[in-house]
Structure 1
Amino acid sequence: MIESLFGYNLQNSMKNDETKSKTPSPNKHLLEPKRLQNIAILSKALNATAREVCDALILGKGLSLQQLEALVKMVPTKEEEDKLLSYKGQVDELGFAEKFVRAMLSIPFAFQRVEAMLYREAFEDEVAHLSNSFTMLEEACKELRSSKFFLKLLEAVLKTGNRMNVGTTRGGARAFKLDALLKLADVKGTDGKTTLLHFFVQEIIRSEGTKASKSIMGQKRENGTEEEKEEDCRRMGLKLVSDLSAELCNVKKTATIDLSVLASSVSNLSTGLANMQNLVRGLLCEDEKNKSFVISMKWFLNYAERKVQDLHGDEGRVMSRVKEITEYFHGDVTNEESNPLQIFVIVRDFLEMIDNVCNDLKKSMKPPRAICVE
């Protein structure tokens, strides 16, 4: 039903094209009907004639990203190419799609030129994406290593665990794996409601709020009841804990990165560059007829070589940073972690748990009072 309603009517299109050119209807097609239909749709979407496309391929410029993407999808198989090039009949007897591809095949290495031009058009966006991802990873490592408040939380978790396990084989621990942070919400108190996570966050808020209050007030005398002062301290502590999520913003973003996709993107850039080098400096360089395309590509090729080399350097440096930060918190995990970024996933999930507790506590707090200082 979809094909009958919305499909490209290949035969009608050919009749229209042939009526305009006043040529007889073709008796047979060299390519399969479905393939013809796809190529016909793509060629119509180009908004350019076969001659204009061929001229652009000779010069190595003049086609947009969208046009190049459409042309890449037309790449004929070896069998299709042989059929089109070995055809000895009248060219006018061929259908529109077949004539279009056959015209392109008259240009030496036409579709390799298309791929090279597409590589050049998409290059900057791909490099920018990879560079931003590597920068984010590096910043995430710095955030985790330099956040004093996060380290303070870890110390408090360790002390809490040791206090709960005093007198057991688990007591007196000097370290713990970060994934233990995600288990804090699973431990419930005797009331069946309060979790260890809630207790832990409330105690951090209380202690940090008290320190912040003393530091801010200094020698100033504050009015208000003890209960109001305590509420103000809690409010300050709550802000400090809530701000940790923003402090580790790149850690949270990094947790969504698929490292295998990044590595694959860098590899694909290298492969595309190698193909372009082979085309420009090998297949086309000796024939004077290809001079315009070679000249058009040479400057970009030199530029792309430097950029891809820099990306490989960035990738190596960043992966070294990730390994260092993972070992800093987890020790030697060479054969343990299937996902090298697992540490960032754990911290992100832990921060989300803390944020949820903080939001619950905010709802239960009284509105802030006006503080009069003499």
Structure 2
Amino acid sequence: MNVKKAAAMDSDVLSSEVAKLASGITKITEVLKLNEEIALKESSWRFSESMNGFMKKAEEEIVMLQAQEKAALSLVKEITEYFHGNSAKEEARPFRIFMVVRDFLSILDHVCKEVGKINERTICISVRPMASNPTLPPVFPGLTGRHHYSSSDDDEKAKLSN
């Protein structure tokens, strides 16, 4: 489960929605019973049969949802007890543990990014060539911008000027 989504959940809203589904199924069942009492046409019977099949499946799904809700809340309580120590304090907001985990993961992600940036800078500094070190002789002395003349160079200049 995504921790951010779990942190945004409200257990009261979840329980309320499951209860509304169960209540809605009960109301539909009552309407179907009234329809069967009143209906005399074949098309109404086919509708009732079809809806009764749907209702049976829907009721099974609601029972399964309620069981899963109960199991999930029990597991959340167990996790809270394990990490927090006292789940009774968190009884009103059982999903609060996910907010704590979400915040922790956010801080951890931020720290990991910062460490990555520091590592990149360290690697760049250690890999950078040492071209600016004045104590090392140039690799190509003729390309340094300075030209050293020897006496033979002066002789050749004199011959060219004549």
TM-score (norm 2): 0.66
Paired residue for 2:105? 351
> 2: distance between equivalents of 1:340 and 1:295?
42
State the identity as a percent.
41
**Do structure 1's residue 323 and structure 2's residue 82 form an aligned pair?**
no
Deviation track 1:328-351 (CA, whole Å, cap 9, x = no partner) reads 112233244531111110111011
The one of 4, 16, 19 equivalent to 1:267 is 19
Counterpart Cα distance in 1 of 2:91 and 2:67: 23
Please say if 1:279 is aligned against 2:31. Answer: yes
**Aligned partner letter, 2:21:** L
CA distance in 2, matches of 1:337, 1:313: 19
Kindly tell me: are residues 313 and 337 of structure 1, through their superposed partners in 2, closer, same or farther at Cα, counting changes over 3 Å?
A: closer
CA distance in 2: counterparts of 1:333 and 1:314, whole angstroms: 20
2-structure distance, mates of 1:336, 1:304 = 33
Q: Which amino acid aligns with 1:357?
A: V
Q: Which residue of 2 aligns with 1:164?
A: none
- What residue is the counterpart of 1:258 in the other structure? 10
Instruction: Give, in whole Å, the separation in 1 of the partners of 2:71 and 2:115.
Output: 41
* Structure 2: gaps of 5 or more residues: 127-162
Query: Displacement of 1:261 after TM fit?
Result: 2.2
**Matching residue's letter, 1:286:** E
The DSSP-based 3-state class of the residue aligned with 2:8 is coil
RMSD: 2.2
Structure 1 or 2, whichever has the larger Rg, is 2
- Report Cα offsets for 1:115-139 as digits up to 9, x if no partner: xxxxxxxxxxxxxxxxxxxxx3xxx
Give the Cα separation in 1 of the matches to 2:86 and 2:108: 28
Q: Output the CA distance in 1 between the equivalents of 2:90 and 2:60.
A: 35
Gaps of 5+ in 1: 1-135, 137-249, 370-374
Whole-Å separation in 2 of the counterparts to 1:338 and 1:313:
20
Match among 40, 43, 59 for residue 305 of structure 1: 59
* Deviation for aligned residue 1:258: 2.3
Cα offset for 1:293?
A: 2.5
* Shift of residue 302, structure 1, vs aligned partner: 0.9
SS for the counterpart of 1:284 is helix
Q: SS at the partner of 1:338?
A: coil
* Aligned with 2:92 (options 338, 353, 359): 338
Q: What is the CA distance between 1:291 and its match in structure 2?
A: 1.9
CA deviation after TM superposition for structure 1 residue 256, in Å: 2.0
State how far apart, in whole Å, the 1-side matches of 2:37 and 2:102 are: 56
Q: CA deviation at 1:311?
A: 0.5
1:267 deviates by 1.1
Rounded to whole Å, the distance in 2 between the matches of 1:329 and 1:306 is: 35
Letter paired with 1:267: A
**3-state SS, counterpart of residue 285 of structure 1:** helix
1:43-100 Cα distance to aligned partner (Å, 9 max, x none): xxxxxxxxxxxxxxxxxxxxxxxxxxxxxxxxxxxxxxxxxxxxxxxxxxxxxxxxxx
Q: Which AA in structure 2 matches 1:321?
A: L
For residues 110 and 89 of structure 2, what CA distance do their matches in structure 1 show?
33
2 CA distance for matches of 1:351 and 1:332? 22
Between 1 and 2, higher relative CO (CA 8 Å, sep ≥ 6) is seen in: 2
Matches within 5 A, 1:131-170: 136=1
